[in-house]
Chain A
Amino acid sequence: MDKTNSKNAGWRKEGFIGILTIENQPENYLVNPEFISITRLESFLSEDIRGLIIAGSGRHFSAGADLKNITTLAKNPEDLKIALTRGNQLLNFISQLEIPTLAAINGVCFGGGLEIALTCDIRFCTRRSLFAVPEINHNLIPGLAGLNRLQRICGQRNSMEILFSGDTINANKALELKIADRIIDEQNLIDYCRNYLTGLIKGRSPEVIRMLMRSFRNAEYLSADEAMKEDVEIFCHLAGKFSATNDSFGL
């Protein structure tokens, strides 16, 4: 297990699973929406990482953007725009990774923090997790495509409830609104998530997992017809490598 810390993010590899942590304890406010550079993340992922966990350092996931920082940046709107654009590029990069991604959500997960969690395929939380999109309370809207991802994940009605109220939501409500996929009752959420992802990829070649995740991305971002045609292509690509040494069997 190695650990390489940058200022706003931590990294460690456990088995084939990479664990990326948002670092700014205790609440892990986002100093910068781009909490890790894409280049740095790419180099971490190149160490044969087959599943990615995003978590907060310590007791919380992240309380989101540092409002003071945003106010300072907003004095020069161009600077704010650049910061948000970079943040968006990072979040898009994460959401397009062709490995399973999982947000392990301890404690608070607000605003920009929730926007990061929404880039993951799966969100696991604990009984004590709290969620919110509080931007509306400050006359703002989510700046990191949270609106878009929220709609896709929770549907129109749930998203509007979350966005317009700005209310803090507990774990049970988060499950009901589909922000969280499961509430985990284990002592150590990260250990649980690491074991979960390890189980998901166990016994499969990295290429098959990558191709499956590409198929999932296609299904999310393309029309059904386009996605299905892509699947045929992926299937043929993999079938080309398939050595049919066994007797005829079905699938």
Chain B
Amino acid sequence: MGNNSLDWKIKNGIGFLLLNQPPANPMTIDFFNALGELTGKIKSIRNLKGIIISGQGRHFSSGADLKELTYSINHHFINNQGNPPAGIPEFMLKNLESFQFFNELNIPVVAAIKGVCIGSAFELALHCHFRLCTKQVVVGLPESTYGLIPGLGGISQLLKILPKVTAMEMACTGSTFNSAGAYKNKLADRVIGGTDLLYAAEILVSIASTNYRKYNKKEYLQQFDHALSNLTITP
């Protein structure tokens, strides 16, 4: 990538995408550009078993760098004044496309969530096919507290998982969930304790990647539970 805002490695046939601006791993414009580039690159990789998305260090990501992002959006509108319609800035649509890219892949895409994962970061996790989290997480969509809405498909993805009443509570109040709340509301498929998060994600990808069908999610998770319980029995 042209910058170091994300880290991409292939190990055992699995792609590891780490947001790489610790501690908070904010989604800067550099990051979104690198992500867009990466999606182009992934398209040409053959025999990729699956993708795991996580953050470097303690957190997944604090989400979009709002100051930078709103500055760029305003800049776009100012530059286009007198040329109506100014329309949506192209880079914002590209960011959405990058997120959708992962959702539309036909290999398993797992969000491995630790620490903070809010705003656009949680939107990215919602576009993933599976969400695993550690016990210490904070997930949510606090956009409304800043006078904004989740702009990268978060509401649509949320409604696929949550009943409308819960989705509205989450989006309107901007309240966050811990791991127990996330699991109870199906926002996290599993809470991982005792096993390394990325290792657990790797196991899940290995299970799901054989003849992967998105609609078999429940079955893969059962096999995953079984594999994890075997791990804890044999040290």
B154–chain A nearest beta-carbon distance, Å? 8
The one of B24, B62, B148 in contact with A235, judged by C-beta atoms closer than 8 angstroms, is B148
Whether, in the assembled complex, A219 has its beta carbon less than 8 Å from a beta carbon of chain B, the answer is yes
For A121, list chain B residues within 8 Å (CB). 164-165, 168
Q: Using known A-B contacts A216-B159, A251-B66, A251-B120, determine if residue A228 contacts B153 with beta carbons closer than 8 Å.
A: yes
Q: Give bound CA distance, A212 to B70, whole Å.
A: 18
Interface centre among B26, B70, B96 (most CB of A within 10 A): B70
B96 in contact with A229 (CB, 8 Å): yes
Whether, in the assembled complex, B69 has its beta carbon less than 8 Å from a beta carbon of chain A, the answer is yes
Task: Report the interface size class on chain B.
Answer: 35 or more
A219 in contact with B144 (CB, 8 Å): no
Whether, in the assembled complex, B171 has its beta carbon less than 8 Å from a beta carbon of chain A, the answer is yes
The one of A100, A178, A224, A235 in contact with B149, judged by C-beta atoms closer than 8 angstroms, is A235
Contact bitstring A206-244, B, C-beta under 8 A = 1, else 0: 011101100110111000110111011111101111101
For A248, list chain B residues within 8 Å (CB). 26, 65-68
B147 in contact with A205 (CB, 8 Å): yes
Nearest-neighbor residue (CB-CB) of A178 within chain B: B163
Q: Give bound CA distance, A120 to B181, whole Å.
A: 26
The one of A100, A207, A227, A242 in contact with B70, judged by C-beta atoms closer than 8 angstroms, is A242
For B118, list chain A residues within 8 Å (CB). 250-251
Q: Using known A-B contacts A231-B156, A236-B73, A239-B69, determine if residue A199 contacts B173 with beta carbons closer than 8 Å.
A: yes
B155 in contact with A250 (CB, 8 Å): no
B152 in contact with A208 (CB, 8 Å): no
B120 in contact with A100 (CB, 8 Å): no
Nearest-neighbor residue (CB-CB) of B159 within chain A: A219
A233 in contact with B88 (CB, 8 Å): yes
Whether, in the assembled complex, A34 has its beta carbon less than 8 Å from a beta carbon of chain B, the answer is no
Whether, in the assembled complex, B146 has its beta carbon less than 8 Å from a beta carbon of chain A, the answer is yes
B96 in contact with A182 (CB, 8 Å): no
Whether, in the assembled complex, A122 has its beta carbon less than 8 Å from a beta carbon of chain B, the answer is yes
At the interface, is chain B mostly helix, strand, loop or mixed? helix
B151–chain A nearest beta-carbon distance, Å? 3
For B76, list chain A residues within 8 Å (CB). 236
A171–chain B nearest beta-carbon distance, Å? 16
B146–chain A nearest beta-carbon distance, Å? 6
The one of A203, A212, A225, A231 in contact with B152, judged by C-beta atoms closer than 8 angstroms, is A231
B147 in contact with A240 (CB, 8 Å): no
Q: Give bound CA distance, A200 to B95, whole Å.
A: 29
B146 in contact with A231 (CB, 8 Å): no
Q: Using known A-B contacts A200-B169, A227-B156, A240-B77, determine if residue A250 contacts B24 with beta carbons closer than 8 Å.
A: yes
B164 in contact with A216 (CB, 8 Å): yes
A209 in contact with B142 (CB, 8 Å): no
A250 in contact with B70 (CB, 8 Å): no
For A220, list chain B residues within 8 Å (CB). 159
For B67, list chain A residues within 8 Å (CB). 244, 246-249
For B144, list chain A residues within 8 Å (CB). 204, 208-209, 212
A242 in contact with B146 (CB, 8 Å): yes
B151 in contact with A122 (CB, 8 Å): no
Q: Give bound CA distance, A242 to B71, whole Å.
A: 9
Beyond A220-B159, A242-B146, 15 extra complex contacts between A and B, CB < 8 Å: A182-B165, A200-B172, A204-B144, A219-B156, A227-B155, A229-B88, A231-B156, A232-B152, A236-B73, A236-B151, A239-B73, A240-B74, A244-B71, A251-B118, A251-B146
